[in-house]
Structure 1
């Protein structure tokens, strides 16, 4: 009996482990597809749906697996999962790292990128039915279930039945629980643990790439533990044949004690020696990757990021080299050098190499246009307000402190709100930023708050003459709030009588669907007038200026021209660019819905 109880405890432990992995795989793929394609809600919903559909197909087909070799089929399933899950992960990354010909339909790429979800879900669907049937073989009368588990299960059951009895009529069932109920309970516990550990430990602690190898390692270990405990196999993996591996006693005490034939499906696990060697090699490889997870994560992500950046230019035009990358609680910070490797003059920047910075998928700053961007964000709209300490400016975002440095030149009072305190702290001393912000965080008329911009506006009673939105591009669901009618309505509410709001924007020619949704959103928030302008810079030092960034000034009514009496020195020096800029009514596009927090329009997100 003691051996049988050990066997059932081992099966239940394996149930916990494989369920842990199964649920965590679902979240890994959901997050990976979000990183690759954007749209958190969309990717999670589709991935979970596909995963459970595949899980159901696998469970339905599990009855067709040979009942005489349940143990062997369970071992094969775990080895296949250990191989398929990381391979599918790398396939998705690879699809987003190579140049796919335009002739290939986007729908085909979409389908291929989700095949790993289907494969892993299908294989995981085999696990629970196989474990349930093996548990029933071992624990025919229920006496082999560990006493601690029976006691805990009974107490939980009594509590739940009592709670259910307050609303429904119940009839207590006494006696042994079915193998399905015991295994299913452990499966749910493992699933919950997988979700919690993934969200709280694995993903934030070691990152997405090492996590997939941790989970595959657990599948490999589960397969080896199962064979070591239940299989009658030769300890020398390259010796003997498959028949001897399935029929021999192998030295396992538990296996030699089985004489009643009820557990033949476990001891007769026909494990191919080749498959066993594959499992050992996979497990050892994954163990090495996990042990060096920092180096593996950095190298793989660096290769992917460099290829992604290079793919934004014509083939052979740019070589990207990631110099550093860090992940804060809110964003992935990537520094990289881009080097011109094309033929002819470099049309993108002066010189051969320059340093750039990305936050996630969006370019945040490059040396060639850092000044012009902030001149467009600050120095142009300052022509619409009076400089001085009585003028109040709100900066939402701008954790690099550069916008604050430009505002300091006008002596205004600045409230600065940014969500990422870690990034703001690092930017203070980072040489890459310090050359532009000139210790602006020490400005005596600056009040900085680490908070979400939307929440800040919900709580403050301040009004502002100028609101600068120095926020990331609309590339992710997490940013939908900052592109919503509710947010822009809060901005409008906190403007003074003559106040204006300023934001950079994507070109309507390059991103027409985004532009339409954005315009309708700000219009629905109460902004009736807009002033659009470009900042220009001679990026490649050829004597001609190029368009760098487009900005929008938003107001709930008429405002003066940029080139009026209060024009800044920057605007006056570029009269030819800004003299013809005029205010226009905010247009409205028919059939285009605005973006709202509770009714999002995903067209406002852009695919970078």
Structure 2
């Protein structure tokens, strides 16, 4: 093999590495966008992976019908993958806004991209084998680079691309990489390409489109978000863990995480006063308080109304979310700068890991976590998690657990109730009407029996007072279920996730 062929061989190995990384990124990107837009991440990832792999198999099968002009075909495939992959996030978001059957568009996108990706390696293998005349070496080398590229892509997406660039920029950047690969082939192997002039023009034009898409992706995202959210988007941020959007209309500030509303300034006090003041007054003392979640600082604001509180430990996975709530003037004003209070200790950790490793005992525990809409959140609603929380709760202490809606997701609500109850705690369900959310539920959890008539709220509030406390513990007939028909939620059998997603599908 002469020096020119050695160079060409190495260049093709480099392209194998790049296209493999791009392929895996498209796969997880589509899964992530679909999880963000419609929820149920297990379903979205499973369907995307299965359909994508099947489409790749179809592409590999179709490659047998390509018998000549292999370089031309390979360039055309890379251009196709680049443009379809580059606009993939944009297409999915627009489909979610304007087309009722989002899933159909998602499936078509997966099949087209997957089929083209399935053509890549067979074509490359035949190109290299024709030049080296050594199939054994060709196959072992090309698949080695293919798997390494896949590893690089799978690591780069969650650790670098998504948190730093978001959905749109990532798609355009990776699409540009595929176009660059086509340009490498065009200029590195021009003597083998029949339609060289056409491919040069097409690749350069499409590369410029991908570059423009990358440059203006923030503008595109702002325009799309403006259609996804009712009010004006004043902040949009993709962190390592979640997508954060803040909207504002007049005095109504709203926070969304992964598209799900977390609070509205117009009525969040009803939620947070109910969440906090019931356990704070059910506990015999409230000097040490633990908050799991609650990175917006609104629960902390309510707890700081009690002068006897000496220390509040807030545990939130996302440091960027907490810093945003501490420094953003709109949110900081709403939480009354609670996260900067000297009594507050901020811990950035997974709630499960924290409670598993902590040695502290708390008088009050507030579990203010997002709804259990995926498997990672579901573990924070399991019997094991509540058992761990109980081991850190003082004998005379009290815990409150955010528990979704007893009206819109009644099976999920009573599943949480039953799961805690079966760990041997005294559990008293209660709820409140929050106009933005509707009927919203909680669980009051203690080790010793509590008489709700003894719960008095004497601090300054907008909504809750001692005279109205008893109403929170009353449920109407259409909010009740036969708990014998409800299964408890465990780590190995995530029943709650099933109940919750069933409710989402009904009310979507």
Please report the TM-score for the alignment, with normalisation by the length of structure 2: 0.87
Q: Deviations over 1:60-83 (max 9, x none)?
A: 221111x22212211221121122
**What does residue 404 of structure 1 align with?**
300
Structure 2 residue 25 is matched with structure 1 residue 37 = no
Q: From the superposition, tell whether residues 594 and 333 of structure 1 become closer, same or farther in structure 2 (CA, over 3 Å).
A: same
Q: What are the residue-to-residue correspondences of 1:181-196 with 2, within 5 Å?
A: 181-196=140-155
Distance 1:449 1:412 in 2: 18
Please report the TM-score for the alignment, with normalisation by the length of structure 1: 0.73
Alpha-carbon distance, 1:592 to partner: 3.8
Q: Is the 8 A contact 1:529 1:557 kept in 2?
A: no
- Unmatched segments (≥5 aa) in structure 1: 101-107, 143-175, 232-254, 256-266, 311-319, 339-351, 540-545
Alpha-carbon distance, 1:322 to partner: 0.5
Higher helix share: 2
Q: SS at 2:237's partner residue?
A: strand
**What does residue 236 of structure 1 align with?**
none
Q: Deviations over 1:244-297 (max 9, x none)?
A: xxxxxxxxxxx3xxxxxxxxxxx2x3328556533321111112333x2xx41x
Distance 1:84 1:99 in 2: 19
- Unmatched segments (≥5 aa) in structure 2: none
Q: Deviations over 1:393-412 (max 9, x none)?
A: 22222223332232222222
Q: What are the residue-to-residue correspondences of 1:176-575 with 2, within 5 Å?
A: 177-231=136-190, 255=191, 267=192, 269-271=193-195, 276-290=200-214, 292=215, 295-296=216-217, 298-310=218-230, 320-338=231-249, 354-386=252-284, 391-410=287-306, 411-419=308-316, 420-441=318-339, 443=341, 445-534=343-432, 549-556=440-447, 558-561=449-452, 563-564=453-454, 566-568=456-458, 574=465
Q: What are the residue-to-residue correspondences of 1:152-191 with 2, within 5 Å?
A: 177-191=136-150
Q: From the superposition, tell whether residues 459 and 52 of structure 1 become closer, same or farther in structure 2 (CA, over 3 Å).
A: same
Q: Is the 8 A contact 1:97 1:307 kept in 2?
A: yes
Q: SS at 2:172's partner residue?
A: helix
Distance 1:491 1:333 in 2: 28
Q: From the superposition, tell whether residues 397 and 120 of structure 1 become closer, same or farther in structure 2 (CA, over 3 Å).
A: same
Q: SS at 1:533's partner residue?
A: strand
Q: Deviations over 1:20-46 (max 9, x none)?
A: 222222222222222222233332232
Structure 2 residue 464 is matched with structure 1 residue 578 = no
Worse overlay, 441-450 or 453-462: 441-450
Distance 2:221 2:399 in 1: 37
Q: From the superposition, tell whether residues 186 and 335 of structure 1 become closer, same or farther in structure 2 (CA, over 3 Å).
A: same
Q: SS at 2:206's partner residue?
A: helix
Q: Deviations over 1:472-494 (max 9, x none)?
A: 22234332222222111222232
Q: Deviations over 1:222-252 (max 9, x none)?
A: 2122122323xxxxxxxxxxxxxxxxxxxxx
Q: From the superposition, tell whether residues 326 and 90 of structure 1 become closer, same or farther in structure 2 (CA, over 3 Å).
A: closer
Distance 2:340 2:151 in 1: 47
Alpha-carbon distance, 1:50 to partner: 1.7
Q: SS at 1:368's partner residue?
A: coil
Pairwise CA RMSD of aligned residues? 3.1
Q: SS at 1:529's partner residue?
A: strand
Q: From the superposition, tell whether residues 413 and 506 of structure 1 become closer, same or farther in structure 2 (CA, over 3 Å).
A: same
Distance 1:412 1:29 in 2: 46
Worse overlay, 54-63 or 11-20: 11-20
Q: Deviations over 1:271-330 (max 9, x none)?
A: 28556533321111112333x2xx41x2233333332233xxxxxxxxx21011223333
Distance 1:27 1:355 in 2: 32
Q: From the superposition, tell whether residues 440 and 21 of structure 1 become closer, same or farther in structure 2 (CA, over 3 Å).
A: closer
Q: Deviations over 1:177-202 (max 9, x none)?
A: 44222322222232222223333332
Q: Deviations over 1:532-583 (max 9, x none)?
A: 131568x9xxxxxx9674433233563111x437443569974553335558
Distance 2:102 2:144 in 1: 38
**What does residue 162 of structure 1 align with?**
none
Q: Deviations over 1:149-201 (max 9, x none)?
A: xxxxxxxxxxxxxxxxxxxxxxxxxxx84422232222223222222333333
**What does residue 46 of structure 1 align with?**
47
Q: SS at 2:22's partner residue?
A: helix
